[in-house]
Chains A and B, each alone.
Chain A
């Protein structure tokens, strides 16, 4: 079953065309990794999937709903698709637990006690049980990023987007975040990752997409892309990063 389907999407910021016709299909429970050089449009692409970027042309279908349609219920969409950002973007004036509980209570209008139970469980899952009442400023980058993941998961999304989530982290905390993502993927969550962690992408991905200059240059299973890339640009990029 197809979870995400992009058809010939174009995106411009002012005069700069960032995405020049991208099409891809990601099925349910698939883990897709988007790799490519900086400025190739990876982050812009992932933000189109939950409507944070409004596309200029094309069609984005998420869980069977055409989200490029202006009349689509954006808020409903956002609750189905969680996103985790490079800079965590936690709410600094709220505790860890409050960060996780806020959206389900305010947006989904769920019962506070039920949400609290779920939030506590999620924070246990990301191994932050001892930090429930800490503020984001008191946590390390890796811990903050795990809170951000728990915060997205609290909305019980069907798709999770990860936008270079380890790029701002210290090397020793990268692993703890990757472990969390891996567990999610193993639980059958549909995941789309923009990442620079090639080893991790190879290990976790079902499909790897290599983007350059606003287009998908090639895609396929990790072994194919990593070990025997067909396009010269992919080859050059992999030589540089591996």
Chain B
């Protein structure tokens, strides 16, 4: 039984980051080595001209990438709030609540994200009128809402499962101490669920971020649209595709991979605690 992992001190994010760096020294080395090799290959084949083009366009692509991050970020906030509510609705004792919430959950969990995206795009108005003022709704807002729906459905299921995974004896114990339902939920059940649901929650965040380029199909100027636009503006040669898309891939990888590592670290930590 590992008891040291239980202490809060050992759980701080900084410790995790340090541990990851220590454990993944070889990975950092590998990344550095590949960059050097990459650069060498560029020089040898006289592709350095393309590299210059890439460097010139990199800020434009990166600006698009920031939009991907914004979409993923706001989407996740919406999905988490709605998912929590959906999760609670799914375990409600009232059938009038469970049945419609189950329907919502199943619809969004089993639809292709792209379909949800199309429907949201056409369903939401192009602009809204409030007190005579016209406000345009940017495409990326609509995309953000669209992405949050399937994630909401999946998170709802995760939260439901997490609540049900807490032993009944915890409810009983809180009940016997006079806690009401809301207090039991807030102070006993949900804090324990957070630990259980966190790895899945992070996993869904990673998936969501990787799905955001879908918005490019609907004209949102995120990283993939910008990359395509940049390649075309720079002459659209096939020799440009490789460095540009590799750069794009690297952006996503560098952002997502640490999340995956952290998820694993949390999972491992949690499995230790349960022994």
Residues of A within 8 A of B (CB): 50, 52, 75-76, 78-79, 82-83, 85, 87, 89-93, 102-103, 106-108, 135, 137-138, 151-152, 155
Which of A82, A137, A151 is packed against the most chain B CB atoms within 10 Å?
A137
Nearest Cβ on chain B to A75's Cβ, whole angstroms: 5
Q: Provided the pairs A87-B169, A92-B192, A93-B192 are in contact, do residues A102 and B175 lie with their beta carbons within 8 angstroms?
A: no
Is residue B170 contacting chain A, with contact meaning CB distance below 8 A? yes
Q: For A108, what are the chain B residues with a Cβ–Cβ distance below 8 Å?
A: 178
Identify the stretch in B86-94, B115-123, B179-187 within 8 Å (CB) of chain A at 4 or more residues. Answer: B179-187
Question: How far is A82 from B188 in the complex, measured between Cα atoms in Å?
Answer: 18
CB distance from B62 to the nearest CB of A (A): 41
Q: Contacts A92-B192, A135-B6; is A152 near B172 (CB within 8 Å)?
A: no
- Cα A168 to Cα B261 in complex, Å, equals 38
Instruction: Decide if A78 touches B177 in the complex (CB within 8 Å).
Output: yes
Q: Name the A residues within 8 Å of B177 (CB-CB).
A: 78, 102-103, 107, 151-152, 155
B174: chain A residues at CB < 8 Å are 91
Partner of A78, one of B3, B178, B187, B195: B178
Contact B192 A106, beta carbon cutoff 8 Å:
no
Query: Shortest 9 CB-CB distances between A and B: which pairs?
Result: A89-B173, A103-B177, A78-B178, A107-B178, A89-B169, A75-B178, A83-B176, A138-B3, A79-B178
- B172/A75 in contact, CB under 8 A: no
Residue of B with least CB distance to A89: B173
Whether B173 lies near A85 (C-beta < 8 A) is: yes
Choose among B3, B174, B177 the residue with the greatest number of A CB atoms under 10 Å from its CB: B177
Q: Is the CB of A93 within 8 A of B6?
A: no
B258 proximal to A (CB < 8 A):
no
Partner of A107, one of B3, B179, B191, B192: B179
* Cβ-based interface call for B273 (8 A): yes
B169→A85 contact, CB < 8 A:
yes
Q: List 8 A-B contacts (CB under 8 A).
A: A78-B178, A82-B176, A91-B170, A92-B192, A106-B179, A107-B177, A107-B179, A155-B178
Please indicate the chain A residues that have their CB under 8 angstroms from the CB of B192 in the complex. 91-93
Query: Among A102, A108, A152, which residue has the most Cβ atoms of chain B within 10 A?
Result: A102
Taking a contact as CB atoms under 8 Å apart, the answer to whether B176 and A107 are in contact is: no
Main SS of the interface on chain B?
Answer: helix
Contacts of A76 on B, CB cut-off 8 Å? 178
Closest-CB distance, A192 to chain B (whole angstroms) = 14
Q: Determine if A107 and B183 form an interchain contact, defined as CB atoms under 8 angstroms apart.
A: yes
Binding site for A on B (CB under 8 A): 1, 3, 6, 169-170, 172-180, 183, 187-188, 191-192, 195, 273
14 other A-B residue contacts (CB within 8 Å) besides A93-B192, A137-B273:
A50-B176, A52-B175, A79-B178, A85-B169, A87-B169, A90-B173, A91-B174, A92-B192, A93-B195, A103-B177, A106-B187, A107-B178, A137-B6, A138-B3
Q: A89-B169, A89-B173, A91-B173 are in contact. Are A103 and B179 (CB under 8 A)?
A: yes
Task: Judge whether B172 and A85 touch: CB under 8 Å.
Answer: yes
| Assembly CA distance A91 to B177 (angstroms) | 12
- Do residues B191 and A93 form an inter-chain contact, with CB atoms below 8 A? yes
Residues of A within 8 A of B188 (CB): 91
Once A102-B187, A106-B187, A137-B6 are accepted as A-B contacts, the answer to whether A89 and B172 lie under 8 Å apart by CB is: yes
Report B19 CB to chain A, min CB distance, Å: 21
CB distance from A14 to the nearest CB of B (A): 17
Most chain-A Cβ atoms within 10 A of its Cβ — which of B172, B178, B187, B273?
B178
Closest to B6 in A: A135
Tell me the nearest residue of chain A to B175, going by C-beta: A52
Distance in angstroms between the alpha carbons of A85 and B177 in the assembled complex: 12
Chain B nearest CB from A164 CB (Å) reads 13
**Which of chain B's residues has its CB closest to A135's CB?**
B6
B176-A78 in contact (CB<8A): yes
Closest to B191 in A: A93
A93 to B189, CA, bound (A): 10
Neighbouring B residues of A85 by C-beta, 8 Å: 169, 172-173
User: Nearest Cβ distance between residue A201 and chain B, in whole angstroms?
Assistant: 23
- What are the residues of chain A within 8 A of B178 when measuring CB–CB? 75-76, 78-79, 103, 107-108, 155
Closest to A95 in B: B8
CB distance from A240 to the nearest CB of B (A): 29
- Closest A residue to B275 using CB positions: A137
Beyond A93-B191, A93-B195, A151-B177, whether A52 also contacts B170 by CB under 8 A is: no
List the B side residues contacting A92 at CB < 8 Å: 192
In the complex, residue of chain B having the shortest beta-carbon distance to the beta carbon of A79: B178
Tell me the bound Cα distance from A37 to B183 in angstroms.
37
